[in-house]
Amino acid sequence: MLIIKDLKVSIEGKIILKGISLEIKAGEIHAIMGPNGSGKSTLAAVLAGRDFAEVTEGTITYMGKNLFDMSPEERSKEGIFLGFQYPIEIPGVSMVNFLKTALNEHRKHDGLEPLSASDFLKIMREKKELVEIDSKLANRSVNEGFSGGEKKKNEIFQMSILEPRLAILDETDSGLDIDALRIVANGVNKLKKPDNSTIVITHYQRLLDYIVPDVVHVLYDGRIVKTAGKELAMELEKKGYDWIKQEVYQNGIA
Amino acid sequence: MEKDQDKIINDVTTGEYKYGFHSDIEMEQLPRGLNEGIIRAISTKKNEPSWLLEFRLKSFRYWQAMKMPAWANLTIPEINYQDIIYYAAPKQKVGYTSLDDIDPELKKTFDKLGIPLEEQKHLSGVAVDAVMDSVSVKTTFKETLAESGIIFCSFSDAVREYPDLVKRYMGTVVPYTDNFFASLNSAVFSDGSFCYIPKGVRCPMELSTYFRINAANTGQFERTLLVADEESYVSYLEGCTAPMRDENQLHAAIVEIIAENNAEVKYSTVQNWYPGDKNGKGGVFNFVTKRGMCRGENSKISWTQIETGSAITWKYPSCILRGDNSTGEFYSVAVTNNHQQADTGTKMIHIGKNTKSTIVSKGISAGHGQNSYRGLVKVLKNATGARNFSQCDSLLLGDKCGAHTFPYIEVDNQSAIVEHEATTSKIGEDQIFYCNQRGISTEDAIGLIVNGYAREVINKLPMEFAVEAQKLLQISLEGSVG
């Protein structure tokens, strides 16, 4: 589904990603872990098409197409969803209006008729239950006045409506208490289908207790320095990131 | 990334003005210039009684001694008042008795503007007075309204048919001495709408006036007088457009509203005069005096304005809260794009006891637009228990535009509570990207964000027009963010 080859990215002249390659197949869950400043969020931004990150080298192929030829909204309509680390507030724009506009853009792209208000509200009700979001949230303006936890839940709610092929969750667990974490993770698990894929970007292992990855990558200083199964996450939780750093220095990669 | 943002701002702000066409209609005009002879000629053309001519001449003499004020935060090119045509009218038989008398070209013009003059074609529940240049062309649903005793007609008809009402109320809220443009209007006004809602009547439909400037080199000087007698209610809406021309055209109108005991008037404006091209050439100067008097107890006057057009907008729809427990409201969205300028706001004058006022102003600046909010909240000595809440927000698109706020507060009564809140924000690249990431294009994202920002005001418009206003906001900012 997604093939990244030797991706190099800089922001304002500073090299952030120094050559990343990875492949995500349909149905897989990949976790990308790493200490702060290792380039995790930059990778998410590049995948979503944020233009402050400049790709200097490498390719990304998504569903057989060159991802760099697609605008951010095309990527969305082709099934890429980014769960934001810091969801944005849009005052005065109701969640209903926002999501209906978004979903109808997706439907137009897929050659479907736009949904009527009542059909859309029906979908919203179903999904609200699925992701256990407070029904009042859906009546408010986009993220306006939401608590940190509400914002993250709202990201999962939006994901449930747009049903992405590839979901990228950027530090969705940060700032969540254990109950909110469970709700968010349950939402992600319920939305999981055999042929869609998820990238979970996280600093901590605890989210991975709930969302069990097929593959864990460790990103450090702009490179993937280790790739293994889910047990790698446990090891990181126990030992922290220092041993990875040491290993990197010993092997002379960095 | 800055370049991209510039590009979007450019794209969104260079949208085309959709009402810029000119209709080829045979016109009858007076020569350019302003003197007593012209004023007498206007009065003669309209078959006016002598008291009205006297009023005009008195106003004109007063105006001659005045200077155009210069205190606004606006850059106004010099206006040569001798170079303007003060009267231009589509050539027609006097008094349009039936639709068949109206020039088909004229009908076509209003059809094209979405204001059909045939009643059956019109939005149900909206009566329209259509004004082109200096005269009212047709007032729809006149008969239906007359059944409940409502008078809705052109100002000229009112002078002829209801001279006592006109005499009793005209100039009582905006006297001819009020300001430079009010004096000018009082001297040369040519038409406009008159509306009287009798005691105890709730007007069953929306009333509206549609103003169209068509002729070149003319100014439009209309007067609207709206009287709501005791226990009555009316919702009134005005809309306006003009052709695209390289020269500036002056529009100096007066609107007077009177609300008696327990009466309520909602006055909405969707102003879409030609704003000039993207380099600031041409466009309408919209210098209007609008004021409402809450004369009676428990009366209420509410102004809602969506100002997207005009090269320069300079006006302060205001409320004089004379009756005890009366309420004044002002809800405004003003857009300045390209080289448009606006200095607009309101005055709330609290005279009666327990009077309340609310001001919500939302400025949107894009391109090189300059947007000023100017507002006065004045509480007089006897206005015990007066309350005001003001909220002035500014939204900036891009980095070449400006937003300014000039609030004035004068309180002479210890018990008054006056609150003022103000914010300035920029449309964030983050907000646009967030929308993009959900599949919404940048253009649509800006429309969504701006409409969200203006929602509180748009919600105050009658339903039929809220949708139009939303579209208009989006169009007027088309090409502005990138």
What does the pLDDT read at residue B12?
A: 44
Q: CB B452 to CB A49 under 8 A?
A: no
Average pLDDT in chain B = 85
Return the SS3 of A129.
Answer: helix
| Interface residue A164 vs chain B (CB under 8 A) | no
Mean pLDDT across chain A: 90
By mean pLDDT, which of B98-112, B134-148, B231-245, B256-270 is the weakest? B98-112
- pLDDT tens column, B223-253: 999 999 999 999 998 887 766 767 788 889 9
| Highest mean pLDDT pick, A172-181, B69-78, B110-119, B373-382 | B373-382
User: Residue B14: its pLDDT value, please?
Assistant: 47
**CA atoms within a 13 Å half-sphere pointing along the CA-CB vector of A163:** 12
Task: Choose the closest CB to B440 out of A51, A73, A88.
Answer: A73
Q: Would the CB atoms of B455 and A92 count as touching at under 8 Å?
A: yes
Res B481 pLDDT > 60: no
Domain around A175: 2-251
Number of CB pairs < 8 Å for A and B? 79
Residue of B424, B435, B441, B458 to mutate, interface with A, max A Cβ within 10 Å: B435
Question: Least CB-CB distance to A50: which of B433, B449, B456?
Answer: B433
Q: Does B5 score more than 50 pLDDT?
A: no
Say which of A51, A71, A72 has its CB closest to residue B1: A51
Instruction: For residue B453, list chain A residues with Cβ-Cβ distance below 8 A.
Output: 91-92
**Above 80 in pLDDT, residue B377?**
yes
Q: What is the pTM of this model?
A: 0.82
Asked if the C-beta of A36 comes within 8 angstroms of chain B's C-beta atoms, the answer is no
Would you say residue B482 has pLDDT above 50? no
Most confident of A64-78, B414-428, B454-468: A64-78
Who among A51, A93, A106 is closest to B448 (CB)? A93
B439 close contact with A: CB closer than 8 A: yes
- Between residues 42 and 81 of chain B, which touch chain A (CB distance below 8 Å)? none
Q: Is the confidence at residue B436, as pLDDT, over 70?
A: yes
Asked whether B278 and B480 are in contact (CB, 8 A), the reply is: no
Would the pLDDT of B93 be above 60?
no
In sequence order, which ranges of B375-480 are alpha helices (DSSP H)? 429-437, 442-453, 455-458, 463-476
Average pLDDT over residues A23-32: 94
Q: Do A162 and B438 touch (CB under 8 A)?
A: yes
In this predicted structure, what is the pLDDT of residue B439?
Answer: 97
- Identify the residue among A51, A76, A82, A90 best suited for mutation to test binding to B, counting B beta carbons within 10 A and taking the highest: A90
Q: Is A195 exposed, middle or buried (0-12, 13-18, 19+ CB in 10 A)?
A: exposed
Residue A37: per-residue pLDDT: 86
CA distance A40 to chain B (A): 18
- Whether the CB of A167 is below 8 Å from some CB of chain B: the reply is no
State residue B13's pLDDT score.
Answer: 45
- The yes-or-no verdict on residue A35 having pLDDT over 90 is no
Q: Is the pLDDT of residue A215 over 90?
A: yes
Per-residue pLDDT averaged across B112-119, rounded?
64
Task: Find the mean pLDDT for residues B278-303.
Answer: 92
pLDDT grade, residue A254 (50/70/90)? very low
**Cα dihedral A9/A11/A14/A17 (nearest 10):** -30
To the nearest whole Å, the CA of A28 is away from the closest chain B CA by 22
Cβ within 8 Å, pair B449-A90: yes
B7 touches chain A (CB under 8 A): no
Global ipTM: 0.95
The answer to whether A7 and A55 are in contact (CB under 8 A) is yes
State the smallest CA–CA distance between residue B265 and chain A in angstroms: 27
Interface check for B452 against chain A (CB to CB < 8 A): the answer is: yes
Helical segments of A195-240, H only: 231-239
Identify the pLDDT of residue A3: 96
pLDDT recorded at residue A117: 85
Region A87-104: mean pLDDT is: 93
We report the CATH number of the domain holding residue A93 as 3.40.50.300
Q: How far apart are CA B213 and CA B22, in angstroms?
A: 9
Q: Which of B331, B360, B394, B433 to mutate to test the interface with A (most CBs of A within 10 A)?
A: B433
Phi (first) and psi of residue B100, to 5 degrees: -65, -25
Helix A117-130 and helix A95-109, axial crossing angle in degrees, nearest 10: 110
For residue B99, the model assigns a pLDDT of 59
The closest CB to that of A102, out of B4, B440, B442, belongs to: B440
Based on the structure, what is the number of domains in chain A? Answer: 1
Averaged pLDDT for residues B438-454: 90
Looking at residue B115, its pLDDT comes to 64
Tell me the pLDDT tens digit for each residue of A118-155. 899 899 988 888 877 777 777 789 999 888 888 998 99
| Strand-pair category, B248-251 with B264-271 | unpaired
